[in-house]
Amino acid sequence: MTFTLAPGEFVALAGPNGSGKSTLLRLLLGLLVPRAGEARLFGVDPRALGERARLGYVPQRHVLAPDLPVTVTEVVATGRLARRGWWRPARASDREAIAHAIESVGLATEARRPVLELSGGQQQRVLIARALASEPDLLVLDEPIAGVDAESQRLFRDSLVHLVVEHGAAVLLVSHELGAVADDLDRVLVIKHRIKFDGPPSELTDTGVSLGVHADDLPLWLEGIE
């Protein structure tokens, strides 16, 4: 399985359950070692990447601790630590990046609110803002909008497009619900242990494939991949 992501490229990764999506992400993040071939992140072995701030990651259905007494700004600020160093005090540029990340996901008016007072969709956008605050060159998101309301999906889409267009970052979005971003994707990568499709979303939709939200866990076109 071979593929690359270029700077400023917005790519979606889809596949049925058990297709290898999670394994691929773990290889990319340096959490697994490939048995054959190699994984390269910014040209090096992912485990050897020194500038961790270059990589932003939003895990699947991350749940915040129910007794965590922190505000939106405090959570997002933790995403800045990898870039400035935890031992250094926050600078004006750090505060600007944090405020910019919060604004880009549509939560500027909620910046001082405790995170646990927010809806699930808003909390997910806080986690996306935390990843954006590091100003990553690559943002990886694992099923970030599963169960999220339509308005949060729209704001989620806006924040990703902003990252790609304004900051030139690459985005790898793992999801089978691509309706919110279908018009903005450069490529859709479909895998089932190997690459089954790699091309623009229009090539899928022209064959009758729906990239939108589905009532079942997976759309039938993904379940039927051989």
pTM score of the predicted model: 0.82
Cα–Cα distance list, 64 to 20, 47, 69, 129 (Å): 26, 27, 10, 15
Residue 5: closest CA among 59, 54, 58, 51: 54
Q: What is the pLDDT of residues 49-99, one digit of tens each?
A: 888 888 888 887 656 666 678 999 999 998 888 776 666 777 888 899 899
Give the per-residue pLDDT at 216: 46
Give the per-residue pLDDT at 225: 58
Structure tokens at 103: 């604004």
pLDDT average, residue stretch 133-148: 82
Residue 182: closest CA among 147, 215, 145: 145
What residue ranges do the domains of the chain occupy? 1-8+63-167
Beta bridge partners of residue 14, listed in sequence order = 190
Q: What is the pLDDT of residues 124-137, one digit of tens each?
A: 888 888 988 888 99
1-8+63-167 folds as Rossmann fold (3.40.50)
Residue 172: closest CA among 2, 37, 3: 3
